[in-house]
Amino acid sequence: QVQLQESGPGLVKPSETLSLTCTVSGGSISDYNWNWIRQPAGKGLEWIGRIYTSGSTNYNPSLKSRVTMSVDTSKNQFSLKLSSVTAADTAVYYCARDRMGYVYEYWGQGILVTVSS
């Protein structure tokens, strides 16, 4: 059974960089595409970006200038970095595996990241 687990700091200061890692178990990270999706409290879902099996990436244009995603196949992990954060970046961040670039079939439980001084 595929499982995803987000990890990282739950509190980030404004203007700093948010860094999260998603650890994948139950399958090889090399065979699929991986995504980050976030959800502010009580609000809807926002797709942040995707990293493909090739290592190439697609980011949401609204965040593109601040987002970097990468994969570490040796650890079966992928990561998210979001720079210059503000309070508007406070959200639950989910990692997810997609099905051929389409729907999100496996999700982590999510990690709450609060941006505050």
Residue 62 sits in the site that holds another protein (CB under 8 A): yes
Question: What's at 40, amino acid-wise?
Answer: P
User: Contacts with another protein: how many residues (CB under 8 A)?
Assistant: 21
Q: How far is the CB of 86 from another protein (least distance, A)?
A: 20
Residue 52 sits in the site that holds another protein (CB under 8 A): no
Q: How far is the CB of 14 from another protein (least distance, A)?
A: 25
| DSSP 3-state of 90 | coil
Residue 103 sits in the site that holds another protein (CB under 8 A): yes
Cβ neighbors of 95 (< 8 A, separation 6 or more) are: 4, 6, 20, 22, 34, 35, 36, 37, 78, 80, 107, 108
For another protein, give the closer residue by CB, 13 or 45.
Answer: 45
